[in-house]
Amino acid sequence: MSKLISTPAVVLALFLSGHISAQEEAPPTTASFLAQHHVEDTPTALRAALSSPDPAVRGVAAGLLAQKKDTKSIPFLEAALVHEPRPDIQVTLAGALNQLGDGVGHLWLVNKCKQANAEPVARMLAANELLGAHSDECLGSALDVLAANPDHDGTSQGLLYLRKSKTPPANSLRELKIKLEATLSDDSTSEDRWNASEFWPSLEIRPR
């Protein structure tokens, strides 16, 4: 396998691996990533990799098991989720379970995106994982997170969710515009501003 994997859990894990190691200039392919970490692309090896000390390896292994539709790995993924210390890899594990049709994964993601005292970026990663699996349940959570003016990563993930969401907001147009404008500052990235304006073109979002 030499191509990039398109399932949400693996994309997130490969993205995280670049942030964790900061060694590649370009996103790694799954084949090169596995070779670099001496992991075979087999269900048995990937299940073992769920216990790797490297969080990126754990995440990629989970995503690949989901892509392979290896339902026999569900108990291994559930056990890994219970013991996983990193919130971002927790999301990847839960996302893999969700893709395999496991209710534990779906419930975990829904609970995380709606958990008011959780880290904003973890909430929005969970929301986007659900959205990637065609489950649009976290719009209210995204608006709440953005209204609280989270850090850059939380803001970016929240705006990404809004751009991809197909659910009409319950908020009035004026209230929604105020919330979105409040998330943007002069140092906001162009991607963040684009995500905000694309959510509802008539908002004409402007950075503060």
Same structural domain, 134 and 95:
no
Q: Of 24, 30, 37, whose CA–CA distance to 7 is shortest?
A: 30
What is the sign of the dihedral through the CA atoms of 169, 170, 172 and 176?
Answer: negative
Average pLDDT over residues 28-54: 92
* pTM of structure: 0.77
User: What is the pLDDT, as a whole number, of residue 10?
Assistant: 58
Provide CB contacts within 8 A for 116, sequence distance 6+: 144
In a domain, 59, yes or no: yes
Number of structural domains in the chain: 2
User: Mean pLDDT lowest for which of 15-29, 134-148, 163-177, 191-205?
Assistant: 15-29
User: What is the pLDDT, as a whole number, of residue 196?
Assistant: 66
Average pLDDT over residues 123-144: 91
User: What is the pLDDT, as a whole number, of residue 23?
Assistant: 44
Same structural domain, 148 and 198:
yes
In a domain, 109, yes or no: no
User: Mean pLDDT lowest for which of 58-67, 79-88, 115-124, 176-185?
Assistant: 176-185
Range of the domain at 63: 1-102
